[in-house]
Amino acid sequence: MLSSAVEALVERMLQGNQGALARLITLVESDAPETPFVLARLYGRLGHAYSVGVTGPPGAGKSTLVDQLAGRLRQRGLSVGIVAVDPTSPFSGGSVLGDRIRMQRHYLDEGVFIRSMATRGSQGGLPITAQAVVHLLDAFGKDLILIETVGVGQTELDIMGTADTVVVVLVPEAGDTIQTMKAGLLEIADILVVNKADRDGARSLQHELENMLHLAPRKEWWEVPVLLTVAHRDEGVAELLEAVGKHRAACAGSGERERRLRRRRRQELLQSVEQRLKVRLLELVEHDHSLSGALAEVEEGRLDPYSAARAILADRALLHKWFAELEQVG
């Protein structure tokens, strides 16, 4: 259940209080016990916002591109949420680039809410709480949410299960093409962007990517465009925003957005169950002699973890006790 203090925070957030929104995001990021109840309380208010993920290797200019996109969206009178994922500090556990220097011009704009998040060990470009933060921004009333991933390169695929439109940003250097093929970023891209297109090799990379797309399996409802941008000069950003609008319309018209939403909801359910079971299992290990004994044997090297896991899952009495205690915590 929600405490009266958290319930008051939710009410203030729904009334447009950005301070309350920031505090609720902190609560969700820390995986506080109230988190599932907060998200359940807001679930009926979701569905207004559209989310755009901006991903790609480090140094591609993602932050500058997000900054320019936010500026153009504000010119259209749309409210914007920005989730900027940064590397995790090895000292504090927080985001290293939390000041978001490139986006400072938006900090005094009440129509833009910027939140930096640390990856917290995630290898897929997004922390596991990113989707919950997107939900909070949606319930808050943002029209469009921009999600910038950390830039981990070859494993940056989490964005596919979080954003409605995925923009993959590359730069003209030839190594990016090889990295793209190895990372599978082509498969998740709804829109491809060659940023820093004032550099040599930009058009060559654009043509190469277009040729690769022609060889890949094609979607009947959407043809992935390859766009050129120079983000720091705001060149090509209007065309990118237009492409996002076209992809949004194509998703809606083909039923693809609903299919993506169904997959996302399924993924959220499984992740929520997995996360809660993992936390509960760690709690049980501390108090159950069978589990703590098996863990001690594994830690000391007297038993391999695979045999220990099979033994635990084969112990019906232990599983019955475990699930009975799970029911008590709800």
The model's pTM: 0.85
What distances in angstroms separate CA 323 from CA 44, 281, 306, 316, one per listed residue? 29, 10, 22, 11
Q: What is the distance between the alpha carbons of residues 5 and 40, in angstroms, rounded to a whole number?
A: 17
pLDDT attached to residue 228: 98
Q: What is the distance between the alpha carbons of residues 173 and 128, in angstroms, rounded to a whole number?
A: 31
Q: Establish how many alpha carbons lie within 13 A of residue 17's alpha carbon, considering only the half-sphere containing its beta carbon.
A: 12
pLDDT attached to residue 292: 84
Closest by CA to 226, choosing from 67, 216, 256, 146, is 216
| Consecutive H or E run containing 126 | none
What interhelical angle do 316-329 and 256-287 show, nearest 10? Answer: 110
Residue-by-residue pLDDT tens, the chain, 330 positions: 788 999 999 999 999 999 999 999 999 988 888 998 999 999 999 999 999 999 988 889 999 999 999 999 999 999 999 999 875 443 344 444 544 555 777 877 899 999 988 765 444 446 678 889 999 999 999 999 999 987 655 445 678 888 999 999 999 985 555 555 555 677 889 999 999 999 999 999 999 889 888 887 778 899 999 999 999 999 999 999 999 999 999 999 999 999 999 998 998 898 888 877 787 777 777 777 778 888 899 999 999 999 988 888 888 877 777 777 666 655
What distances in angstroms separate CA 62 from CA 216, 251, 252, 320, one per listed residue? 25, 24, 26, 49
pLDDT attached to residue 123: 43
One DSSP character per residue, 81-118 reads EEEEEEPBPTTTSSBTTTT-GGGGGGTT-TTEEEEEEE
pLDDT attached to residue 179: 58
**DSSP bridge partners of 118:** 86
In a 3-state reduction of DSSP, which class is residue 215?
A: helix
- Please report, to the nearest 10 degrees, the dihedral formed by the alpha carbons of residues 229, 235, 241, 242 taken in order: -100
Q: Which two tokens stand for residue 287?
A: 């108090």
User: Is the Cβ–Cβ distance between 78 and 143 less than 8 Å?
Assistant: yes
